[in-house]
Amino acid sequence: MPSEKSEALPATASETATDASSTSSGATTALTAAGAGGLASTYNKAFQAAREAVGPQNHPASTLYVVATPIGNLADITLRALYVIERANTLACEDTRHTQQLLRAYGLDRSNSQLLAVHQHNESEAAAQVIARLAQGERVAYVSDAGTPAISDPGARLVAAVAAAGYRVMPLPGASSVTTLLSAAGVVGEGGFVFTGFLSSRATERQRAIETLSFETRAVVLLEAPHRIEALAQALALLGSRLITVGRELTKQFETVHTLEAQKLPAWFAEKADNLRGEFALVIHALDKPKAENDEALDADSLRTLKLLLAELPLKTAVKVTSDITGVSKNLIYDTALSLKKGLD
């Protein structure tokens, strides 16, 4: 069992600034904000702030640190993330090449021996290597290509294996396309949200999933790649007037956050080519509550009339007579009558 004793973290490799190469591929979107110039030297001050703010805190050895990284804007990195990435003995990562670029964008350089590939194709096997390093007292930081690991990206199996082996897992919160879009979507309603992520690439399975989601009353968060977004939009049109918020290129220069009815999605994507570019997160808004569940309720006199009639007449007759007497909608009276009946059963 690992020790919880706080120790001084090991020294780091050189912090020589190196320009991050720019690319438009989805695997390197977090680096595009760096541009062609050298932002690396700018982050020297951030690292100094990280050491001062985070250094006195406890970051024990033999611990797996699950570290969120930016989803598109390098400046979204947290001080804790910088500190732990700088000081970890090993960086486990979804793609070692991408992570090396990210490190260099921040002015860090690590040898290949300090990077360990842990991705969806080898996660279970690679977890054994992580556990072996934890057993030697190392601090291992795990990062995915962008965002918070183990949500849609790999990491969950690694975390489960490390915890099962008796070692501590410490999460470092940060960027996530899920919460980023939800915060700007204006979703109203109770019950929270459901994270579904990527639907099947197979049309039949995707359509079946959306038919199931159409009955979900809570907000639903989806993710999609640019080459499949048009097909997803066509499938989501099934939801008719239900609102959907599209988040495209979140946190980047050409970020788009747009809300519209599901049935209008295909036309919106067809408007211009730019609407199809980038990585996508989508929020299917929560269903509106049925009228009977809203704050609207029978006034005291109408409710008294309904109760008296229900005691003497069948439910449907009592509803009709109450509506005739009071002028209140039959639907509201009927729903209220059902609730009263349930209370008596």
pLDDT of residue 296: 63
What CA–CA distance (Å, rounded) separates 312 from 23? 76
Amino acid at position 178, single letter: V
pLDDT at 279: 94
Tokens of 194: 């459901």
- State the amino acid at position 196 in one-letter form: T
Q: Is the pLDDT of residue 222 over 60?
A: yes
Q: Are strands 115-117 and 90-93 parallel, antiparallel or unpaired?
A: parallel
254-272 pLDDT tens trace: 999 999 999 999 999 999 9
pLDDT of residue 106 exceeding 60, the answer is: yes
* Residue 279, token pair as written in the block: 């990585």
Asked whether 232 and 224 are in contact (CB, 8 A), the reply is yes
Q: How confident is the model at residue 342 (pLDDT cuts 50, 70, 90)?
A: low
Q: With bands split at pLDDT 50, 70 and 90, how would you rate the model's confidence at 176? A: very high
Alpha-carbon dihedral sign for residues 327, 332, 338, 339: negative
Residues 6 or more apart whose Cβ sits within 8 Å of residue 231:
203, 206
The runs of H, that is alpha helices, within the chain are: 43-54, 79-87, 96-105, 123-135, 156-164, 177-185, 203-213, 229-236, 265-271, 300-310, 315-326, 330-344
More reliable by pLDDT, 298 or 156: 156
pLDDT confidence of residue 139: 98
| Long-range contacts formed by 121-127: CB under 8 A, 24+ apart | 123/154, 123/155, 123/157, 123/158, 124/157, 124/161, 126/92, 126/158, 127/157, 127/158, 127/161, 127/162
